[in-house]
Amino acid sequence: MPLSAPADREPMHRRQIDMQGYRRADGLFDIEGHLLDTKAYGFENEEKGWLAPGTPLHGMWIRLTIDDDLVIRACEAASDHTPYAVCPQAAGNFARLAGLRIGPGFNRAVQERVGGVLGCTHLREMLAQMATVAYQTLYPVRRAKELEREKQTGVREKPRIIGTCLAYDPASPVVKMRWPWLRQEAAE
């Protein structure tokens, strides 16, 4: 279902974000993100002078290389388009994310390592979304490991996703359908 019809309006700003997950030949995974900001109008930039409509104001990349436990092995960032000449200097600091695990506390840890003047707001904001892309990319790998653990131990673990959104409310029809054994265990 699309949104309702908008009021009369004119375009002002456009942000495009593209993120993709890849399985590498060496068994690791790359999660890449690209952000592009443009304005629909021309304006004066203090360092670059006049920027015509559609000229990139921000054009940035991040690549997280992660293992199947969601631990960041390497992080690389680059800034092709920035409003100021100093901005690309922040990209190198994102290598500090190596060793972090994507999971609870990830956003806080990112802030500690590349927050404020250590990083770039636009690159940092992409990381939360990239964490979701990492989960989606590794789902089949992590699910296979989960099933193997269950097979070996005979113990089924409650999925961590339970309670994270409306569909995964413990009482939702989705949870009842996907994990009927949770209802059985709760009744016992």
**Structure confidence by residue, pLDDT tens digits, 111-123:** 999 999 999 999 9
Facing residues of 60 across strands? 35, 79
Please tell me the distance from the alpha carbon of residue 73 to that of residue 62, in angstroms, as a whole number.
Answer: 13
pTM: 0.88
Are 100 and 131 in contact by the 8 Å Cβ rule? The answer is no
Read off the tokens for 101: 């695990």
Among 111, 17, 32, residue whose Cα is nearest residue 65: 32
**Structure confidence by residue, pLDDT tens digits, 60-99:** 999 999 999 999 999 999 999 999 999 999 999 999 999 9
Residues in the chain: 188
**Structure confidence by residue, pLDDT tens digits, 2-23:** 999 999 999 999 999 999 999 9
* Model confidence band, residue 143 (pLDDT cutoffs 50, 70, 90): confident
Residue type, 108: R
Q: Kindly give, in sequence order, each residue whose CB lies less than 8 Å from that of residue 21, ignoring residues fewer than 6 positions away.
A: 29, 30, 31, 32, 133, 134, 136, 137, 138
Are 18 and 26 in contact by the 8 Å Cβ rule? The answer is no
Three-state DSSP state, 153? helix
Q: What is the structure's pLDDT at 184?
A: 63
**Structure confidence by residue, pLDDT tens digits, 26-58:** 999 999 999 999 999 999 999 999 999 999 999
